[in-house]
Amino acid sequence: MGKKDIIKIEGGMDHINLEILGYIDHNITVNIIRDNEIVEKKSLSLPKKITNIIQCKNPRCITSIEQGLPHVFYLSDAEKETYRCMYCEEKYSR
Ligand SMILES: [Zn+2]
């Protein structure tokens, strides 16, 4: 997906996770379409917090030891797009 990509979503936002979309590519614009009309244009931004999208790679992290915990990462550096594990501060770089 390039910077000019536009995603068209028909029928509302209910089942679309903008958190995931924003994490994948926050340079895209999302057009919300209802009855063949654009009802909303949304620019995505990097989410401050992402849950269950990426997993912590630290083998000593509690999420690696305990099953069923949500994998929560927070944005620690928006410019470098760096996320850190909420539990052990392990850096996640892509
Ligand atoms: Zn961790």
CATH number for the domain spanning 85: value is 2.30.30.20
Q: How many CB atoms lie within 10 A of CB 22?
A: 20
What is the domain extent for residue 39?
8-46
- For residue 48, what pLDDT is reported? 93
Residue 16 and residue 37 in one domain: yes
pLDDT tens readout for residues 62-71: 999 998 999 9
Spans in the chain with pLDDT lower than 70:
1-7, 9-16, 94
Number of domains into which the chain is organized: 2
Q: Classify residue 73: in a domain, yes or no.
A: yes
- For residue 42, what pLDDT is reported? 84
CA of 50 to the centre of ligand 1 (A): 13
- For residue 87, what pLDDT is reported? 98
CA of 49 to the centre of ligand 1 (A): 14
Q: Classify residue 1: in a domain, yes or no.
A: no
Residue 31 and residue 53 in one domain: no
Closest CA to 92 of 11, 37, 23, 43: 23
CA of 71 to the centre of ligand 1 (A): 8
CA of 41 to the centre of ligand 1 (A): 35
CA of 65 to the centre of ligand 1 (A): 10
Tell me the whole-structure pTM to 2 decimals. 0.72
